[in-house]
Structure 1
């Protein structure tokens, strides 16, 4: 059976270079990075090399890069520490953030009795920036804004400059979940008005279980995980050297080939959109995912014009034909409540129709895209 993987927003396959670098690290550099002997120093050197390289690519300082177990830990750490250490009493976000942010924000509202504000969204899922400015002006409370750069389900791109500038103007902290965009977009953190961002290696062809947080210098945040002086005292725990090496290789390779791979993947998405429109004229695109300029080039979220009763068989039909994609995000699979993102932006009639997220990488081909279109067309017209 043909196998077509179109779920790269959930996780990506490892690059061969990443596997090779991790194998070498596992076999030849097994010392504890905190040990002072040669084995430990070798691992420590590799970790600091990775930190400096990542910082240089982002135009940040090495001390501003903190390795974590992934994006979820990084989001939790930043939000919690900002509330605890910076006296944040108002947290402004939206209801279509990743649950790593939403659930943390809800917990903080209960634990610290902070005010939690959700920005209204337009029909496409964009937060209202005029309302953001009003919320920032409302009182003198210490505020934290948390809005994701690329929505993981509908692909909308946030104007980081606009949001960051508003936060700077009114003295608010700005955090962005950038798990879907680090490794896929260029960054210059010396110019971008942002205080905190997060990344996960497995979203750009690195290993699972490792990522990093960018914490702007002099942010005033203190460690959340205690027990050791690792990560320059900010995050205790023995560093997973092999995973950090894999993250570094994936990150380095992603940016070395960013322009060519971005052009190629954008071509796949554009072709997918055009062929779907021809094959299923009544198909709809959720959020801005069908707009090549205002959404990420890596994913598209489609709504199929089929009988709701028949839609229960859609994922089974795709899987039977070897196609991997998502009904909402991978984090939502197994949930009967459906996509919290689509629930916020679609009406009841639209929600009754099946929606699917397809996401692409440079490992995909036009042949695979055409095959997926053909399988969808067959299902819609059967």
Structure 2
């Protein structure tokens, strides 16, 4: 009898929490009013959106009026970078600082802005995937428009020193944006402690629905609207709200706040167990900071074993893992993250990412380790 497939790709997306589905269902069926309508049907939906905005804000220590709902983390990243750049360009600032390991949503937006007259500094990271605050300071210029550095890397899980960078930039009056898509809902975040002016995240990374992203914009920042039309999202993003998705985001955020600490402890223990068991394999290399990283992510490669071979063998054994960012799936080039960390093309092309989640059992971790050990023994 074949085993039930085990999902170990939570960094790509998470399954919808049953509690989240329960609160969403009425807004997909009976509560169908437009939140902008003045009648009872619309006002019921509006109250649900306002409640979800408050729940979502609490996830990052923000105020509800600083929260804007979008369609995805990618949209939130684009909105933040393009809008801040536009405002700062009017003040003569045409330089952007980011890192060499950003998600494509930031990286490609920066490349687009380069084509529109901005210069971009892509900061290097160390072998653990960490950027140094001193490197950020050294890269700043009198015409620096903004700095965008991810909170935690989606491929190796390394957490960046955002609070240190935020404190540095605050003294210079330079806006800081962080892509917290991989971090939100998994580690404590507080926008004031981090010192960020804009922060992006997405509900589907913490057991909420797909199709709902969030952008935090610090109160007092005056940015142009993303979409023009109606008055939704306080005149900043026109278009009828996705009420069910927003409600789901709020519920997922509330659940994450309540369960984050216990989940982090459990996942860290399971990840360390997995790392210890796989560490007995000859030629294995782990990537990312062993301490300052997201608890559920483990990135590794085995010398002499091709990435696609390992992925296929694991899939046949009933384990769903990935080669890195889901947004780069199908790419034949080595991971830009691992290359920036100093890996050779060969090392980068044999790495895979395992990411545990809420429904991952200790028995799943043991079974996965058994499978990798067995495959490695056959190859070596």
TM-score, reference length from structure 2: 0.94
* 1:114 alignment counterpart: 118
> CA–CA distance in 2 between the matches of 1:13 and 1:83?
35
DSSP 3-state at the match of 1:93: strand
Determine if the alignment matches structure 1 residue 325 to structure 2 residue 311. Answer: no
CA, structure 1 residues 357+32, in 2 after alignment: closer, same or farther (shift >3 Å)?
Answer: same
One of 304, 309, 313 as aligned partner of 2:309 = 313
1:1-382 aligned at under 5 Å gives the runs 1-2=2-3, 3-87=5-89, 88-111=93-116, 113-136=117-140, 138=141, 140-278=142-280, 280-288=281-289, 291=290, 293-308=291-306, 311-348=307-344, 350-351=346-347, 354-382=350-378
Q: Deviations over 1:149-193 (max 9, x none)?
A: 100001111011111011112221100000011111122223331
Per-residue deviation, 1:208: 0.4
Contact (CA 8 Å) 2:124, 2:340: kept in 1 or not?
no
Gapped runs of 5+ residues in structure 1?
Answer: none
CA, structure 1 residues 199+333, in 2 after alignment: closer, same or farther (shift >3 Å)?
Answer: same
DSSP 3-state at the match of 1:257: helix
Per-residue deviation, 1:109: 1.3
CA, structure 1 residues 297+347, in 2 after alignment: closer, same or farther (shift >3 Å)?
Answer: closer
CA, structure 1 residues 57+314, in 2 after alignment: closer, same or farther (shift >3 Å)?
Answer: closer
DSSP 3-state at the match of 1:362: coil
Per-residue deviation, 1:353: 5.7
CA, structure 1 residues 349+240, in 2 after alignment: closer, same or farther (shift >3 Å)?
Answer: closer
> CA–CA distance in 1 between the matches of 2:311 and 2:192?
44
| Count of equivalent residues | 373
DSSP 3-state at the match of 2:298: strand
DSSP 3-state at the match of 1:14: coil
Question: Where do 4+ consecutive residues of structure 1 move more than 4 Å?
Answer: none
Give the RMSD, CA atoms, in angstroms. Answer: 1.5
DSSP 3-state at the match of 1:319: helix
> CA–CA distance in 1 between the matches of 2:329 and 2:189?
31
Contact (CA 8 Å) 2:37, 2:43: kept in 1 or not?
yes
TM-score, reference length from structure 1: 0.94
Gapped runs of 5+ residues in structure 2?
Answer: none
CA, structure 1 residues 174+133, in 2 after alignment: closer, same or farther (shift >3 Å)?
Answer: same
